[in-house]
Structure formats: C-alpha cells, structure tokens
Amino acid sequence: MRIVLLGAPGSGKGTQARMLVDKFAVPRISTGDLLRAAVKAGTELGKQAKAAMDAGRLVSDEIVLGMIEERLAQSDAKRGFILDGFPRNTLQAQELDAKLERLGQPLQIALLVSVDFNVLMKRMTGRRTCGDCGQIYNVNYAPSAVADVCDKCGGKLIHRTDDNESTIGKRLDTYQVETEPLVIYYKAQGKLRTVNGEGEIEVIFSKICNIIN
C-alpha cells in the first residue's frame, strides 16, 4: 500500500493516518514529525528548519527531500507507507514520483481529506498532541478524559507552538498557494480520491477504508 494523504493542516489527516497504520500495518511517514524530532534534538537540520516552521512557511525542499529519501530507505517502508504532510508542493510530488518510479513501486492513491476552511481554524487552535505516543485530541471536539493527559499512554498532552492563531493563518495560506495545486496534479494522474473530512472520525475512517479496499 503506497498512499499520500492530502489535506489542509487541521483536516484530520494525521488522525486518519494513525488509524490506517493500526489497520494496515504499514508505517506512517510524517515530515512534520521528522522535522519536529530534529528541532527537539537540536540537530543542524532542525535549527535550519525551525524558523520556517515557526513562521508557518514550508521548510526547504532540499532538507525535506533528504529526510524522505532516508526514511523511505528504511526496511519497514518496503511493505508500503502512508505519507502524511508530504509532498507539499509540485516539486516534492515530482521528486517522489521519480523516486518511486525508479523503485518500480508507483504511488497508488492520493487521498484528499477535504474540510471547509472555517472549520480548520477552530480545529487547529484546540488541537493537543501526546508528547509520548503522538495521539491527537481536540479540546473542542475530542478531549482526553483527564485534561492534558493522554487516554492511551498517560503521556502529557502538548499544544504545538505552531498551532497559534497567527501561525495557523499563515499555514493555511501556504497550503492554498503551495499544496492545493497537488489536487490537480494527482487528478491528472487519475490517482486522486476525495473524502469529506467533516463528521465522526470513525465514519470518515470507514469511508477511507472503502476507498483503499
């Protein structure tokens, strides 16, 4: 299974990607997670990426493509993968296609999780993520049972520094300008599938599974 999940920040694609990992046993590869880990570890790459992330802009293609190259070379990705947050512009999509073509393993589906822009802002300001296991909650829509504590593993819930109103506005702009053209890109390849990302998480998930199956 080789899938790209497309969707604006806050569309719920990260949540759906995690559920797909549990069901289909292929890794989720999130460039956002890889970049946050690099920032946290204080690596040179993390230092370079941080300013763009804090400003809601895209990190340079060179950094992101290098990270993806390394991650796709790991053994667990041989079975397939769910790409979450990558590609984010046309150049990244073209590079991904070229790489997968060389491996004889082309992408199968680009799945767009579509959510109205007005809903996205509320979702993102309320988002909380477990610092240990990555489980996602929302204080407005899907809170944890105990405030700031993960239901799954007891880890502390974190409010991402780029989930504040000004950065969110910029991230949504960046999505519209840089990433939304990928909808046309994958449509032209006949690989685009769209699911309405508003509503119950489980209902959306079952629609996604139907598309994949």
Catalytic pick among 160, 170, 187, 191 = 160
Whether 13 is a known active-site residue: answer yes
Where in the chain does DSSP place strands (E)? 2-6, 28-30, 81-84, 109-114, 127-130, 136-138, 157-158, 192-196
Each residue 46-75 as x (binds ligand AMP by CB under 6 A) or -, in order, gives ------xx--xxxx----x-----------
Q: How far is the CB of 10 from ligand AMP (least distance, A)?
A: 9
Stretch that binds ligand AMP, among 37-45, 81-89, 106-114, 132-140 (CB under 6 A): 81-89
On whether the CB atoms of residues 106 and 52 are closer than 8 A, the answer is no
Distance CA 94, CA 59 (A): 17
38 touching ligand AMP, by CB under 6 A: no
Each residue 116-155 as x (binds ligand AMP by CB under 6 A) or -, in order, gives ----------------------------------------
On whether the CB atoms of residues 135 and 129 are closer than 8 A, the answer is yes
- Dihedral pair phi/psi, residue 165, rounded to 5°: -60, -40
Whether 127 is a known active-site residue: answer yes
Dihedral sign computed on CA atoms, order 162, 163, 169, 172: positive
Residue showing the smallest CB distance to ligand AMP in the complex:
32
Distance CA 103, CA 12 (A): 30
Residues that bind ligand AMP (CB under 6 A): 9, 31-32, 35, 52-53, 56-59, 64, 85-86, 88, 92, 162, 171
